[in-house]
Amino acid sequence: MSTQSDSQGRFFEDFSVGDVFEHSLGRTVLAADNVWFTLLTVNANPIHFDAHYASQTEWGRPLVDSTFTLALVTGLSVADISRNAVNLGWDEVRLTAPVFEGDTIYAQSEVLHLRPSGSRAHQGIVTVRTVGFNQDGAVVIEFKRTLLVYRRGHGPKNRRPIVQDIG
């Protein structure tokens, strides 16, 4: 198991099957997140934005839009997993518990599979399983994600300009 940190992000060579990344950031879901994301995606299900309607369901309050949860948990993993990658897709997405406004979501990922790209010698394919969980440790989402990851020395340059004179 690897627990490395790299401010430039990981490249294909930095991954090993079995690596587990406990993503360091958590994020509290705000009411505005839920409403904005629901409106942005034109999701007309009132369970996300109509408190009266939602009060009549088994949860008694609005549920956070599930595609927001997918986007949030994916985002929490970027620094460790996909800073030098292109997302190829999500598989086996499972929403295992509801997310509510005020929940804080955390994530961790495990590397499941690696292989060189058959068509791009400067990249490789990495498959991870990511789990998102709330402040109580309840798993709220699980998915597999496949990424096209640059090999070291072949990705876009990600360097800030150097300031010569700061005085």
Return the axis-axis angle of helices 31-40 and 66-81, rounded to nearest 10°: 100
Give pLDDT, residue 157.
77
Give pLDDT, residue 3.
44
Measured from the Cβ of residue 120, the count of other Cβ atoms closer than 10 Å reads 13
CATH number for 12-150 (one of 3.10.129.10, 3.30.2350.10, 3.40.190.150, 3.50.50.60): it is 3.10.129.10
Note the pTM of the prediction, 2 decimals.
0.87
Regions of the chain with pLDDT less than 70:
1-7, 158-161, 166-167
